[in-house]
Structure 1
Amino acid sequence: MRVGLTGGIGSGKSTVAGFLREAGAAIVDTDAISRSLTQPGGAAMPAIAQQFGSHFVTADGALDRDRMRALAFSDSDAKRRLEAILHPLITAEALAQADAASTALVVFDVPLLVESGRWRARVARVLVVDCRTETQIERVLQRPGWTRERVDGALAAQASREARRAAADAVIFNEGLTLETLRHNVRSLAATWGCETMATP
């Protein structure tokens, strides 16, 4: 079973992914793949340098993430050009990792699954982690370096809660739950999707 996992910033998606992993599911983390592609020597760096210029490359050869993030937020064409470089490489690596997995449940952790429009056909189910927008803001503001302006920009760049829920086969409403309750809910849901270890304590 291949499942797409998504959720807005601050929803608790990474925590849910961790519970899935600890119980035996294979997690394919597209954010981690993206970071590996844009680190020094990463496969995406030559094309990024050619497309955007050397001032978007740090001294050690990695992507200057802060500079690129600022450009992508302000220039939709630049964002599209960056995605045209990264998305095919991310997809190829994600599918290779999934093909190599030997578990009953493979979970693609894709923050922009709904926005991309491409992942739905690659998975049998979509699991959305949801919470109130106010809770998202409160959680993200506790992270180092995050300002309200940056949080608002991140929320604006993502699909609405309604759009994510409309695309979901299952929703975990991560609001007011203890970690143990959240873990139990995740394990129960995944057990129905064929990950037998999820059903055991």
Structure 2
Amino acid sequence: MKKVIGLTGGIASGKSTVVDFLISLGYQVIDADKVVRELQAPQGRLYEAILKHFGSDFIDETGQLNRAKLGALVFENREQREKLSLLQDEIIRKELYHRRDQFLGRENADVNAERDFRENTDEKPREIADVNSVSNFSGSKIYRKLPSVNQLLFMDIPLLLEYGYDGFDEIWLVTVTEEIQLERLMARNHFTKEEAKKRIDAQMPLAQKRKFADRILDNSGSLEMLKKQIEEALLAVNREK
């Protein structure tokens, strides 16, 4: 039976590293950020919607959407951030669900693009699988026990929980310590500490996201440790099918 796994985390938590490893194993990953960039390209549905609601000031001299300028606006202005979020949500949601349904082989699936954001922080936490133990694997034998690449679809959605995306068999969360998250974001984006903290604070805290996760991948250690956690999670999925 095919399964769809939602993959999320915080900014600079290392989700892209997890995605790269999953792809190297042959698994299909829908990257929400890439889908958004496609929709934001000239003549794309998001491009046209943003142009209509925010004006041509956010289009550069080449006719492309000025994402940096738009991003700066929404991070500094909560009202504008909420306006953009509502504007984009239905278009992005429908496209992501359409691609998911293609993988599942559904025809004429009824996509509800008006689902409520998940804001109930009092929801009882799910039981979180322990995938943080590091085991010794015997070479390539492990890969014969992993789920078939045709049976799993990963959907990499940074704001999966904030926007209440659903329809997943499991949710995997990539976490790091707050200190590492801050350091990585400052180094990667050349932000000041204040700028980096502002970006982090704009998202749901990782500690809160843990309540909704079925499996936790701790990316505070080495790359090898992270890969072994991913392998353990995949093995667990195969055992539970």
TM over 0.5: yes
Structure-1 residue corresponding to 2:127: none
Structure-2 residue corresponding to 1:160: 205
Structure-2 residue corresponding to 1:185: 229
Where does the alignment leave 5 or more consecutive residues of structure 1 unmatched?
196-201
Tell me the CA shift for residue 144 of structure 1: 4.5
Tell me the CA shift for residue 59 of structure 1: 2.1
- Deviations along 1:45-75, one digit per CA (max 9) or x if unpaired, are 1111110111011222222112211221222
Structure-1 residue corresponding to 2:156: 109
The structure that is helix-richer by fraction is 1
TM-score (norm. length: structure 1): 0.87
Where does the alignment leave 5 or more consecutive residues of structure 2 unmatched?
105-149
| Bigger CA radius of gyration | 2
Q: Does 1:130 find its partner at 2:175?
A: yes
Tell me the CA shift for residue 33 of structure 1: 0.9
CA distance in 2, matches of 1:130, 1:144: 19
CA distance in 1, matches of 2:28, 2:233: 15
Query: Cα–Cα, structure 1 residues 25 and 194, in superposed 2: closer, same or farther, change >3 Å?
Result: farther
Structure-1 residue corresponding to 2:81: 79
Identity over the aligned pairs, expressed in percent?
A: 32
Is the 8 Å Cα contact of residues 36 and 42 (structure 1) preserved in structure 2? yes
Query: Cα–Cα, structure 1 residues 85 and 62, in superposed 2: closer, same or farther, change >3 Å?
Result: farther
Structure-2 residue corresponding to 1:93: 95
Is the 8 Å Cα contact of residues 218 and 226 (structure 2) preserved in structure 1? no
SS in 2 for 1:113: coil
Structure-2 residue corresponding to 1:58: 60
Tell me the CA shift for residue 77 of structure 1: 2.3
TM-score (norm. length: structure 2): 0.74
User: Which has the higher mean CA deviation after the structures are superposed, 97-106 or 11-20?
Assistant: 97-106
Task: Give the ranges of 4+ consecutive aligned residues of structure 1 lying more than 3 Å apart after TM superposition.
Answer: none
